[in-house]
Amino acid sequence: MVSRYLDAAATAPLRPEARAAMLDALDAGPGNPSSVHAAGHRARSTVETSRERVAAALGARPGELVFTSGGTEANNLAVIGLALANPRGRHLITSPLEHPSVLESCRLLARVHGFEVTVLPVDGAGRIEPSDAAAAMRDDTTLATIGLANAEVGTVQPLPAIALEARRRGVLVHTDAVQAAAGLPVSFGSGGWPGEGVDAISVASHKFGGPQGAGALLVRDHLPIEPLLHGGGQERGARSGTENVAAIAGFAAAVVAATASVGGRALELVRSRDALVRRVLDEVVGARLTGDPVERLPGHASFVVAGVSGESLLVALDAAGLAVSSGSACAAGRDEPSPALLAMGIEPGLARTAIRFTLPDPIPEAVVERIVDVLGRETRRRGAERRSYSTSFPATESSDAA
C-alpha cells in the first residue's frame, strides 16, 4: 500500500532546494564562520547570505534575525531574553494554547525571577478575544507572548488587533509563528501577517521543508535581548555558539521556496482540507472538528472522535499507510489529555480521542476515501466491542433495593 505522510505540523518533508543547498555547503569543505582564514570566510559568507535570504522572505532586515537551533530555542530566547532585558515590569501575558517552549519559559520567569503570568481565556474554537488581551495589559506588563496559530487545532489568532493595542500600551509582543509561517504570508514588515505591530517572531526551518535543528528569531533591532547562551558572542551577541552552516543554508533555501508559493498553495490546501473535513464529519460517527472552522491553518484538519482512543486511530491509520498524529509532537507519548483542548472546554475523555491531519500538499480523493474508511471501521469496531461488553455483563440488582 502506498504510504501518505499527513503530519506536516510535526515536520514537513525536506524540500529538494533545501537538500541541494545543504549538500553544496557540505561539499564546500570545513570552515568555522568565526575563523579568519579563507575557509572561515567562505562559511561566514554562506551564513550571511542565508541570513539575507531568510530576512528578505520574511519582511525583515538581516540585522533583525538571530539564527537558533530551532523553534524551541527561538521561543525561549524571545520570552526569557526580552522579559529580562526590558524591565518595564514583571508581568507577562500568554495563552493556554502555547507551545511548551513558551509556557515553560513563562513558568521559569515566574519561579526564578518573580514574574506574574496572566493566562488568557480561549473560546470553544481556541480563539482569544482581543478585548480579553487588552483587559489583561497593565502598566507593569513587559511582554505578551501569543502564538499566531495553534499546532493542535490550527486556529489562527487575531494577533494584529492584539498587537495594535499592545503597542498603544507600550507592551512588547512576541509571537510563535513556527506553525503558521509555512502556510500563511507571515511578514515582519507591513505587507504580511501579523505585520509591524509585533516585536519578535519565532520560526523553525523544518516547518518550511528545511532541515531539523535550525530556526530563527526575528527581533526589532532596537530591542535589547538577554542571551541564553554565553560564550563567543556569535549572532551579534544574542546567541553564542558556532553556527550550523549547512542547516542554515538549507533553512534559507526552504524559506525562499515556501514563501514564493504560499498564496496559491494555501488556496489549494484549503480546498483539500475542507473536502476531508466534510467527508469525516458526514461519514464518521462521533467525529467533531476542533478549532475554528474558518480561521485556521490551510492544511490543518483536527478532530475528536467520541468512543475511540486517539492512539487506536493512529495505529489503524498507520497500518493503512497514513502517517498522522494526535496533537503536538512535543507531547507525544504522554497519557494526559491535551491542555489546549481542555482549555477549549473539551472534557478529558473526549480530548484523549484527538487526531490531527496536517497536509504538506493537497491530497487526492483516494486518500480521503482511505482515511474515512479507516476511521469508520474503527468507530464501528469499537461500538461493537462496547455493545458486546455491555450484553456479556448484565446489571445485577442493587443490594439496597426495597
CB 12 within 8 A of CB 209: yes
DSSP symbol at 14: P
Distance CA 387, CA 319 (A): 25
Write out the DSSP string of 77-105: HHHHHHHHH--S-SEEEE-TTS-HHHHHH
How would you class 386 by CB atoms within 10 Å of its CB: exposed for 0-12, middle for 13-18, buried for 19 or more? exposed
Type of residue numbered 97: L
| Sequence-distant (≥ 6) Cβ neighbours of residue 83 within 8 angstroms | 92, 109, 113, 115, 142, 143
Taking residue 125's Cβ as centre, other Cβ atoms within 10 Å add up to 17
Q: Which of 331, 359, 354 is nearest to 341 (CA)?
A: 354
DSSP symbol at 119: E
- Asked about 106 being catalytic, the answer comes back as no
**Catalytic annotation, pick one of 306, 315, 330, 332:** 330
Quote the cell numbers at residue 268.
489549494
Quote the cell numbers at residue 373.
474508511
Distance CA 185, CA 194 (A): 9
| Sequence-distant (≥ 6) Cβ neighbours of residue 52 within 8 angstroms | 62
Does 194 sit behind a cis peptide bond, omega within 30 degrees of 0 on the bond before it?
Answer: yes
Write out the DSSP string of 217-266: EEE-TTS----SS-SS-TGGGTS-S---HHHHHHHHHHHHHHHHTHHHHH
Q: Which of 379, 386, 381 is nearest to 353 (CA)?
A: 379
Which are the catalytic amino acids?
330
